[in-house]
Structure 1
Amino acid sequence: MRILAISDTHGKIDALESVFLLHPEADYYIHCGDGERELNSFLMAYPEYTGRTFHVKGNCDWSSVSPTQLVLDLENGHRLVALHGHTLDGGVGSMYYVAQEEKADLVLFGHLHRRHDNIMGCVRIVSPGSAAQPRDGLPPAYALIDLVGDQYVVSHGEVPMGHR
């Protein structure tokens, strides 16, 4: 099973489109906030992605109808929770407690515009970084999360050069 996570596209439909089209094999596409308008535009142009694409509301998604948090059951009893993260005061550490509340073993989040991948207890906590405005000195990025057996294998990809 493959999950593509993207976040903080902030109007850059080119970035979102290029990344999604680069990975048509993904089972799920999760937008971790601040990009609902361009995601909706993409889904209008590519309706075949609709049933497997999800969005959570970010702090810049004004008048969004998306939820602030998404819980998704995966194969073999795994579960993910996705959120933007702007409503949590405890930083990345508070993601662990969200996972505990939701009985999830994977957390996807945005807002910080920085790539992140670590494990706390039995919870994998991943931020794809920003696909448009990174704040970590690295190129615009997204994350691929492969569920292989009982393990999450996480990699960060870079938004293709002509679409940044």
Structure 2
Amino acid sequence: MKKVVVMSDNHGNDSMMEYIKAQEPHADYYIHCGDSEASYKELLTGYICVKGNNDWSLDLPMEAKLQIEDVTLFITHGQYLGYFNRELAMKDLLIRNHCQVFISGHTHMPLFLKDGSYYYINPGSTSLPRGGSKKSYAVVTIDGQAVDCVFKEIPRSQ
């Protein structure tokens, strides 16, 4: 079983990357879904990162694929998915890339959805939540082909 910690959309709040690692020190993987707006790239050390629509100065890939146990993850920020029929666009990307888990940010709202053999995960935002959600990140466990996700709320004082 592997533990994957996923964060997104801290929008320049550099302390969030270390805060998440301090809260989850025993993760097997750390993923950042973009819009870190990190002051310098070294802040992202230890994270598998993709570029968000506000990461102008960071040289990061637009998407990444990662094999963990028996599932393949597709990671992107999500700014090109739109807001209507978003799940259809995500499923299309999973199918075309031969992946089972779609991980993205951009909406600032947590999401964990299972659709047949596909999973969709958005950790929400560590700094600027939307839609009535709280500041959050996601802890994903992968055991063989089984995927589970819990959201961890970040205290207002952070």
Give how far 1:20 is off: 1.6
Tell me, yes or no, if the aligned pair for 1:18 and 1:159 is still in contact at 8 Å.
no
Shift of 1:119: 1.3
The SS at the match of 1:152 is strand
Which string of whole-angstrom CA distances, capped at 9 and with x for unpartnered residues, describes residues 43-101 of structure 1? 5xxxxx63xx21100000003211110001112x3110100010123423311111111
Which one of the candidate residues 50, 53, 72 is aligned to 1:79?
72
What residue in structure 2 maps to residue 6 of structure 1? 7
Identity over aligned residues, as a percent?
Answer: 30
Q: How does 1:24-63 map to 2 (within 5 A)?
A: 24-37=25-38, 40-43=41-44, 50=46, 53-63=47-57
Residue 46 of structure 1 is matched in structure 2 by: none
When structure 1 is superposed on structure 2, of 34-43 and 77-86 the one drifting more is 34-43
Q: Offset of 1:128 from its aligned partner?
A: 0.2
* Contact 1:18-1:160 at 8 Å conserved across structures: no
SS in 1 for 2:90: helix
Q: Supply the AA of the counterpart residue of 1:58.
A: G
**CA-to-partner distance for each residue in 1:14-58, whole Å, 9 max, x for gaps?**
233211211011111110010051573535xxxxx63xx211000
1:162 CA drift (Å): 2.5
Secondary structure in 2 aligned to 1:42? helix
For 1:87 and 1:94, the matched residues in 2 are separated by: 9
Which consecutive segments of 4 or more residues in structure 1 shift more than 2 A? 38-43
Q: Which residue of 2 aligns with 1:130?
A: 125
Q: TM-score, normalised by structure 2?
A: 0.90
CA distance in 1, matches of 2:64, 2:145: 21
Counterpart of 2:117, as a letter, is: C
Does the CA-based 8 Å contact 1:5-1:128 persist in structure 2? yes
Distance 1:15 1:78, change over 3 A: same
Unaligned runs of 5+ in 2: none
TM-score, scaled relative to structure 1: 0.87
The offset of 1:13, in angstroms, is 1.8
Q: Structure 1 CA distance, aligned partners of 2:58 and 2:12? A: 14
More helix as a share of residues: 1
Please, which runs of 5 or more residues in structure 1 have no aligned partner?
44-48
